[in-house]
């Protein structure tokens, strides 16, 4: 075996070992979800000795304690509409700053950069006070509306649009297209990678959010999947690791599916440096 082939084998082995370390928590979660209570508490092996689906049966049958179906529906509504709201608002704001003659544009851009330095946690109390006074607590709106304001997303889309050749837009305008038509049919298809990347990041942010939903949601049936799993861990089910892992598997599955279908756009969004 030549030196080059030996280096390749060593690199592959190292990569497999690193991948195993990253996959180990996921494997532990999946395999533990198929263990019984006693085995989950005392087992020292990764693979279950006796495979069982009882944890999933108990999880889906405990509708009063853990209405996981309702939690997933709530999460889907919040993440889908929250992501769409952020992408629409951010795209319109970025396009206005990149192409339109907006007064004090430079000052606005400076304010956007400064706003990125403000910790999100300092805005939670004012937001909570606003939604409490308007009677929106324990609903979808306090979980969806705040996602529409995303300074980082606006700035990233703006910088991406600045690399887009304006001549294509001018040609469409000369042909009689409106600004909105140019945005929808010319600009957005060309910046799809960055939109898909930011959309996926927003989806993960809303899907995994815990602190803000825990402030505005108190009813069990209004919880998202993250709050629901936290309630299982903090409740009486902590004595059954298998049940907690089963709930986590159900919660992780939608994220994995979304990542599989958007993976190529996410990679292009991170590596795309120009428009061909």
Q: What is the pTM of this model?
A: 0.81
pLDDT of residue 272: 55
Counting as low any pLDDT under 50, the low residues of the chain are 273-276
Closest CA to 98 of 2, 214, 194: 194
Contact yes or no for 116/155 (Cβ under 8 A): yes
Closest CA to 154 of 85, 211, 221, 103: 85
CB 176 within 8 A of CB 150: no
* Domains annotated on the chain, with CATH: 65-271 (1.10.3720.10)
pLDDT in tens, 214-269: 999 988 888 898 888 887 777 655 677 888 888 888 888 888 888 777 777 666 66
How high is the pLDDT of residue 273? 43
Q: What are the CA-CA distances from residue 99 to residues 102, 155, 165, 178, 190 (Å)? A: 9, 14, 11, 13, 15
């Amino acid at each position: 075996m030549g030196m080059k082939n030996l280096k390749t084998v060593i690199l592959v082995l190292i990569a497999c070992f690193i991948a195993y370390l990253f996959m180990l928590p996921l494997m532990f979660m999946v395999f533990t979800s198929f263990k019984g209570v006693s085995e989950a508490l005392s087992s020292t092996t990764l693979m279950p000795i006796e495979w069982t689906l009882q944890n999933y049966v108990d999880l889906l049958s405990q509708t009063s304690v853990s209405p996981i179906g309702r939690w997933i529906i709530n999460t889907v509504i919040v993440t889908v509409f929250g992501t769409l709201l952020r992408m629409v608002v951010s795209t319109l704001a970025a396009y206005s700053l990149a192409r339109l003659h907006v007064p004090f544009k430079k000052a606005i851009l400076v304010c956007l950069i400064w706003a990125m330095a403000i910790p999100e946690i300092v805005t939670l109390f004012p937001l909570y006070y606003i939604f409490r006074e308007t009677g929106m607590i324990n609903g979808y709106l306090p979980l969806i509306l705040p996602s529409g304001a995303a300074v980082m997303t606006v700035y990233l889309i703006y910088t991406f649009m600045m690399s887009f050749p304006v001549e294509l837009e001018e040609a469409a305008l000369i042909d009689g297209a409106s600004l909105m038509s140019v945005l929808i049919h010319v600009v957005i298809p060309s910046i799809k990678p960055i939109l898909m990347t930011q959309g996926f990041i927003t989806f993960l942010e809303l899907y995994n959010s815990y602190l803000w939903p825990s402030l505005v949601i108190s009813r069990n049936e209004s919880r998202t999947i993250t709050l629901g799993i936290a309630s299982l861990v903090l409740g009486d089910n902590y004595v059954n690791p298998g049940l907690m892992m089963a709930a986590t598997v159900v919660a992780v599955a939608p994220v994995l599916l979304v990542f599989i279908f958007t993976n190529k756009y996410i990679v292009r969004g991170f590596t795309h440096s120009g428009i061909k």
